[in-house]
Homo-oligomer: A and B are copies of this chain.
Amino acid sequence: MQFSVKHNNLPSSEDEILNIIGKYFSDTQPQILLGRGDDCALVQFDRPMAVSSDLFLENIHFRSSYFEPEEIGHKSLAVNLSDIAACGAKPIGFTLSLGLPTDTETSWLDKFFQGMADLANKHKVSLIGGDLSRADHILVDITIFGEIPGASCFLPRGGSMPGDALFVIGQIGLAHVGLQVLERFGREGIADWPQATRAHLLPKPHVNPGLVLSRAAFNARPPALMDISDGILSDLPRLLGMSGELGTGNNYAGMLGAKLTINSEDLHPELLRWSHSQHKNPIITALIGGEDYALLGTCAPDLLPTLQAAIPELLVIGKVTDEAKITCNDEEIGFNGFDHFARDFNIDS
C-alpha cells in the first residue's frame, strides 16, 4: 500500500496527512515511473540498486523531549542516506512507514515533513510510497534505494589489506557528546554545545564523498567503506572483517588489525572541552562515540593522494595491519573499558 487513503487506524484525517506529504514531496526522479497512491510504486533501475532499511523509534533512538519534529524528520532520513553513502551509491528514493500517536497535531506533521523534505530535496531523493498507522509512540521506518554505476563500484565492508590507509570522513565522537549534553540539559544545552548537539540532532550524511570514493573504485582496488553508527571501536572490526566479541579478549578470527594514530587536534573543540570537563580521555570519547555517521574506510596507499585531493575533509587516522588487534597511539585498546562506555550510547540505557 503506497499512501492511498485507507482505514489505517489513525483517528486524525488520513487525507490531511496525505495532503501534507503532497505539499512537501512533489518532485520525483525520472526513475520513479509511478509514485504514491496505488498498491505499489513503480521504479525503473537500469543499474544495480542498493537498498537499506533503518528504524527510528521514539524512546529507543530519540527522545521527543529534546528532538524537534523537524529534527526527527531529518535524522530518520539522514541515517538511511548514510547507509547509501557508505556503499558509494547515489540515492534515488525511499519509502516511509510512519506510526503516530492519536494526539499528533497537524503542526507537528508539518514540521516533521518539512525537516525530512529539506534533506530529501538537497539530495534529490523522492518519497515514493509507504504506510501510515496509529502507534503508541512515534515510529519511523525508512527503506531507501540508491543506484550504483556498476556492481564493481559497490563499496563493501571487507577487502582491506595490510598497509592500507585507514581514514574517516566527518567528525568522530561529536554526536556522542551532543547526546550526553542533551540527556543532561535538554535543549538548554544547545547554547553551550551548538556543534555537538547539532551533530546528534541533525547528522549529516556524507553522500558526495561516498560517490567520489565509488568513482575511484573504477580503476583501482576499491576502498572498503562503512558508516560509523556505533563508534569506531565497534565498527572498525566489522569493516576489517574481524570476528569475535570485543571485550572477551582479542580472539579475532580475521587476520587484520589496525594501528590508529589520533591526535587531540584531530578532534572537535567541543569534544575536547566536554571530555576535559568530565575528566575523560578525549581520544576514548572519539573512539567509542556513535551516531556521527562519519564514513570509515580503508584504501591502498597509492590511491590515498587522489582521494585526499578530491575529499578535503578526509582524515587519515591510521593504517591496517596484519596483526589481529587494534592499537591507538601505540597503546592496545583496553576493551575492558569499552563495555562500560558503550552502555551510555543508547538513550534508554
* Contacts from A to B (Cβ < 8 Å): 1-2, 4-7, 9, 33-34, 37-45, 48-55, 57, 59-61, 83-84, 86-87, 89, 95-97, 99, 128-137, 139, 141, 143, 145-146, 148, 151, 154, 156-157, 225-227, 229-230, 234-235, 238, 290, 342, 345-346, 348
CB of A100, distance to nearest CB on chain B (Å):
11
Determine the chain B residues whose CB is within 8 A of the CB of A6 once the complex forms.
229-230, 234-235, 238
CA distance A37 to B51 in the complex (A): 12
The reply to whether A52 and B99 form a contact with Cβ atoms under 8 Å apart is no
The reply to whether A342 and B87 form a contact with Cβ atoms under 8 Å apart is no
CA distance A346 to B134 in the complex (A): 11
For A151, give its contact among B40, B42, B51, B87 (CB under 8 Å).
B42
Closest to A346 in B: B9
Determine the chain B residues whose CB is within 8 A of the CB of A86 once the complex forms.
39-40
CA distance A346 to B45 in the complex (A): 37
Closest to A130 in B: B53
The reply to whether B95 and A143 form a contact with Cβ atoms under 8 Å apart is yes
CA distance A154 to B33 in the complex (A): 10
The reply to whether A42 and B52 form a contact with Cβ atoms under 8 Å apart is no
The reply to whether B83 and A39 form a contact with Cβ atoms under 8 Å apart is yes
The reply to whether B154 and A345 form a contact with Cβ atoms under 8 Å apart is no
Closest to A89 in B: B40
The reply to whether A42 and B48 form a contact with Cβ atoms under 8 Å apart is yes
Closest to A95 in B: B53
The reply to whether B238 and A53 form a contact with Cβ atoms under 8 Å apart is no
Determine the chain B residues whose CB is within 8 A of the CB of A87 once the complex forms.
38-40, 42
For A54, give its contact among B1, B226, B230 (CB under 8 Å).
B1
Identify 13 new A-B residue pairs, CB closer than 8 A, beyond the known A1-B53, A51-B145, A60-B134. Answer: A1-B229, A9-B61, A33-B151, A34-B156, A39-B87, A42-B48, A42-B49, A45-B45, A51-B128, A53-B143, A55-B97, A57-B99, A59-B136
The answer to whether A53 and B7 touch (CB under 8 A), given A42-B154, A87-B38, is no
The reply to whether B54 and A131 form a contact with Cβ atoms under 8 Å apart is yes
The answer to whether A141 and B135 touch (CB under 8 A), given A40-B146, A48-B42, A342-B7, is no
CA distance A157 to B33 in the complex (A): 15
The reply to whether A348 and B39 form a contact with Cβ atoms under 8 Å apart is no
For A156, give its contact among B38, B57, B146 (CB under 8 Å).
B38
CB of A167, distance to nearest CB on chain B (Å):
16
For A42, give its contact among B5, B33, B50, B96 (CB under 8 Å).
B50
